[in-house]
Amino acid sequence: MSKSRKTRRQGKAERKVQFQDVVALRVACSEGRDILTPGQYEHVKDLLKQLVGFGSQTYDQMIRIEPFGDFWKFKEKGGVLGKINLRVYFAHVKSRNEVVLLLTYKKEDDGKVGSHMRIRLANRLRQYLAGELSVEVTYTRRE
């Protein structure tokens, strides 16, 4: 093995991984249960637990995540979900070391999601930070 490869590999191993808490708001969980069967809900829940490493980009690369303005969206379709095209919108709150699951949405058309969704997300995040929205569950991973 070349010296440069070995050095790069050691550098990656020495990096300290920062884990976040994944906070699922009760309202977002309720929306998910309204859309999905219990088995589908458990499947999505297991995928979203991988966001504990979101800030360090150590989440499983098999999940699809894209930026959405100041927020992020998790995308899942097919497989266990069948024809359901699911989006879970979340915020990375660095100051609190949290990934907050804000909204679960079944996308039904091919168009872009409107600006009303960003407003809705901003309102939910503001309400959560003010203590006005309840948390259903928090996933934590420690070293």
Residues 5-28: b if buried by 16+ CB within 10 A, e if exposed: eeeeeeeeeeeeeebbbbbbbebb
Q: How far apart are CA 44 and CA 84, in angstroms?
A: 12
| Domain containing residue 52 | 21-139
pTM of the predicted model, to two decimals? 0.84
Please state which of the ranges 16-20, 21-25, 37-41, 107-111 shows the lowest mean pLDDT.
16-20
CATH number of the domain to which 31 belongs: 3.30.2310.20
Q: Does some domain include residue 72?
A: yes
Q: Does some domain include residue 16?
A: no
Q: Does some domain include residue 3?
A: no
Number of structural domains in the chain: 1
Q: What is the per-residue pLDDT across 51-84, written as a single tens digit (0 to 9) for each? A: 988 877 655 567 889 999 999 999 999 999 999 9
Neighbour count for residue 99 (Cβ, 10 Å)? 26
Q: Does some domain include residue 93?
A: yes
Structure tokens at 61: 């690369």
Helices (H), 18-139: 26-35, 38-48, 115-129
Q: How far apart are CA 23 and CA 138, in angstroms?
A: 4
